[in-house]
Chain A
Amino acid sequence: MRIYLGLTENSAPHQTRIFGDFESQLIDLSLAYAGWMKRHRQLSAAAYELGSYYFPETIAAFLERGVEARIALDNVIAFARNTSTGDLRGPAGEKILYQTREIRLLPPLQNPEKSFVIGYSDRARTEVIPTPEIPTGFYKLPQTFVTTGAPIIWPKFSTEIDADACLAIVIGKEGRRIAPEKAWEHVGGVTLLIDITAREINKREGATTNNLLGKNFPSSTSLGPAVRLADSNDDLKDMAIDLSIEGATRQQFTIRECVFSVEQIIARWSILGIKPGDFFAIGASMARRGDRLQEPAPLRVGSTIRCSSSTIGELTHKVVAATGAQT
C-alpha cells in the first residue's frame, strides 16, 4: 500500500492531506474514512474527527498512530473497493477521488528530525570496497526537499553535480538503542530519494571531514513520490531501484547489495533515538556491483533524471540552470 502527501487545488500550504492509491486515482483518506464511518458505523457523530485522527496532516503522524491506523487504512480501502465510484464521497458529499494531476504532491516526509543518507565520504572511497566499520552518514536538511516534477536547480557555486539513487528506510516506531534483531520492528515503510551532490564542493569539504554546501542546496534532495508501507522485510530487501539519465540506466541496486544492512544502520543511528518519519537512505553508491561500489551519475543542464522502483513509483526531474547563473 502506498500513501502520498499532497494539497488539493484550493488549500493553503499547511492544509496537507494524506492520499492513498485507488484504481489509478488518489483517494483522500481522512474524508473517505469519515464517509465509511457515517455509512456503516454507529459513531457517525465522530466521523470527521476519527478520519483526521487516523489520517492526520502528515505521514509522520500517521505512522505514529501505529497498527490501528494501518487497520483503518485497510478498512477504508476495502470499503472503497466495495462501493460504486459514484457513491465514493465524504459524509456531506465531499469529493474524495482525484486524478493524480489534480493533487499537488509534496515530499512525503516534511520535517524529519533525522533525514540521513548513509555513505562514505569521497575521501574514504577507494578502488576496493572498504571493510565495513560503522555506517557513517550525513544529514540532508528538510529545506532542500522536493518531489517528483520539481526542477533540480543547478547551484551557481558548482560546475559538477551528480545524482545517487537511494532507498530511504522510513521509521514507523519510536525507539532508542535498538538491537539489530529488533530493527525491522521499527521500519514503517520506504520511499525513494535522489541525493544530488555538488561533487567538487563535496570533495573539498570532505577533506575537512565535513560536508554541507555540497549536499544541501535548494532541490538537492528529491523524496517520494509515495511512502510504500512495509508489509514484509524480504519484500523491501528485494526491491530493485533504478536511476536513468536521458532514458539510459545509470544505477541499479537492491539494499541487499549495500555494504551495511538495515539492521546495522538502525542499531547504530538509533543510539541518538529515532522517531516515526525519520529516515535513513541507502544509496547505489553504497551498493556493491561486482567488486566495486557503484558511482553517482553525472548531470548536465537539461538532463532528465528518473528514479524508479516498481512498487514505490517514480521520481522524474529536469535539471535547469539557476536564474542568473553564468554557465
Chain B
Amino acid sequence: MKLVTFTHQDKERIGAVDNDGRIIDMIRAYGLYLHDVEKKPGGEKLALALLGRDMCDFLRRGDESLDAARKTLDWARTKAAQGDRRLLVDPETVRLKAPVPRPGALISAGKNFSDHVAEMSSRKGPSFPVAFLKLPGTVIGPEDDIPYPPEVKNLDYEVELAVVIGKACVDVTQEESLDYVAGYSAFNDISARDVIRGENKTGIHLMGKSFPGFAPMGPYLVTADEVPDPQNLKLRLSVNGETRQDSNLSYMIFKIRDMIAYWSQMGLNAGDVLTTGTPRGVAAGRKPDQAPWWIKPGDVVEAEVEAIGCLRNRIVPER
C-alpha cells in the first residue's frame, strides 16, 4: 500500500493511493465505512480516534490502523467501481506533502557507500555507523520547492532511501530489525558544503544540513510488505534530466538492518526516519572541478528509488 499525506482545502490529511493513482482521504473514507458498513454512528470522529490525526500518530497505532487502511482502500475501490465516487479525492484539489511531514527524529547516514567515501577523499570508510541529525522541521514534500539560501555558495544533492520506523524499539538485533519498519520513501539530503566545511573546523555539521527545505521526502510511504528486498534497489538522481548518481542500495557499507540495530541503542519511535546515505556522484565529489555540478536556482532535481518512487523538486531563490 502507498500511504500519503496531503493537503485538501487547507487541511492536512492522511491518505492511501490505489494502483490507478487515485487518492482516498483515509479518515473520511474509514468514517464512511464505519458508518455505512459497520453501522457505527460516530463515523468520521471515530475514524479519527482510531487512525490518528497525522502520519506519526497513524503509525504509532500499529498493525490495526494499517489493516483498517487496507480494508478502507479495498472498500473505496469497490464503491468507485460501482460508480460511488464520494471516497476519491479529486487530484486537482490536492497537494502532496512528505508522507511523514514531521518525523520524530531524522537520522541520516554519512560515509555509507564506499564509492562516495572515495570521492569525498576520506581515507577509508568508518568502522561504525556514522550519522547526523537533520532537523525534522526541514522536511518538505514532492510538490515543494527547495529555497536556495543566500548564505550558501555550494549547494549539493544526495539521493537516499528513507526508512520509516513503525514501532518503538530499543536494542533490536539485525535479524529482527526490519520488523520495526513501517515502509520506505525516496529522500534527497540537500547539503550546503561550504557551510559544513566552516562548521567542521571546530564543531560538527548541523546548519549545513538543515536550512529550511533541505529534506525533500516522498512522494509515497510504500509499506514494508510491498518491498521484499529493500537492500537491493536502484538509486538514481538527475539534475535537469542529466544523470549524476546511479547506483544500488546493495553497495551500502552498513546495511539497513545494521543501521536500525545500531541506532536502536538510542531508542527509536514510530515516525522516526533513518536515511541510508548516498552513493557517488555528488557535486562535491566531481573531479577536477566541482563548480559545474553545484545546484542553483532554476534547477530541477529528481531523486528516484526503484519501486519506491521519484521525488522531483525545483530549486528557487529564497523569497
CB neighbours of A272 from chain B (8 A): 135, 207, 210-212
Among residues 114 to 134 in chain A, which have CB atoms less than 8 Å away from a CB atom of chain B?
Answer: 114, 116, 119-121, 124, 130, 133-134
CB neighbours of B212 from chain A (8 A): 272-273
CB neighbours of A217 from chain B (8 A): 265-267
A209-B199, A212-B266, A213-B265 known, 8 other contacts, Cβ within 8 Å = A124-B203, A141-B105, A141-B133, A156-B265, A157-B265, A210-B110, A272-B211, A273-B212
Cβ-closest chain A residue relative to B196? A209
- The verdict on A189 contacting chain B, using a C-beta distance below 8 Å, is no
Q: Sample 24 A-B pairs with CB under 8 A, ordered by A number.
A: A113-B136, A116-B206, A133-B198, A134-B199, A136-B199, A138-B203, A138-B206, A139-B133, A139-B135, A139-B206, A141-B104, A141-B105, A156-B265, A205-B130, A208-B111, A208-B126, A210-B130, A212-B107, A213-B265, A218-B267, A269-B207, A272-B207, A272-B211, A273-B212
CB neighbours of B131 from chain A (8 A): 210, 212
| Distance, CA A281 to CA B104, complexed state (A) | 21
Known A-B contacts A141-B133, A143-B269, A210-B130; A120 and B202 likewise in contact (beta carbons under 8 Å): yes
| Count of chain A residues near B, Cβ 8 A | 35
Interface residues of B (CB under 8 A from A): 104-105, 107, 110-111, 126, 128, 130-133, 135-137, 149, 151, 171, 198-207, 210-212, 262-263, 265-267, 269
On whether the beta carbons of B198 and A134 are closer than 8 Å, the reply is yes
CB neighbours of A119 from chain B (8 A): 203
CB neighbours of A116 from chain B (8 A): 206
On whether the beta carbons of A133 and B266 are closer than 8 Å, the reply is no
| Distance, CA A269 to CA B210, complexed state (A) | 11
Interface residues of A (CB under 8 A from B): 113-114, 116, 119-121, 124, 130, 133-134, 136-139, 141, 143, 155-157, 204-206, 208-213, 216-218, 269, 271-273
CB neighbours of B104 from chain A (8 A): 141, 143
| Distance, CA A113 to CA B211, complexed state (A) | 12
Which of A120, A134, A155 is the one whose CB lies under 8 Å from B265? Answer: A155
| Distance, CA A134 to CA B194, complexed state (A) | 13
| Distance, CA A130 to CA B111, complexed state (A) | 28
Shortest CB distance B120–A (Å): 11
Cβ-closest chain B residue relative to A205? B130
| Distance, CA A210 to CA B131, complexed state (A) | 7
Shortest CB distance A121–B (Å): 5
Cβ-closest chain B residue relative to A271? B151
Cβ-closest chain A residue relative to B105? A141
Cβ-closest chain B residue relative to A208? B130
| Distance, CA A272 to CA B203, complexed state (A) | 17
CB neighbours of B200 from chain A (8 A): 209
CB neighbours of A121 from chain B (8 A): 202-204
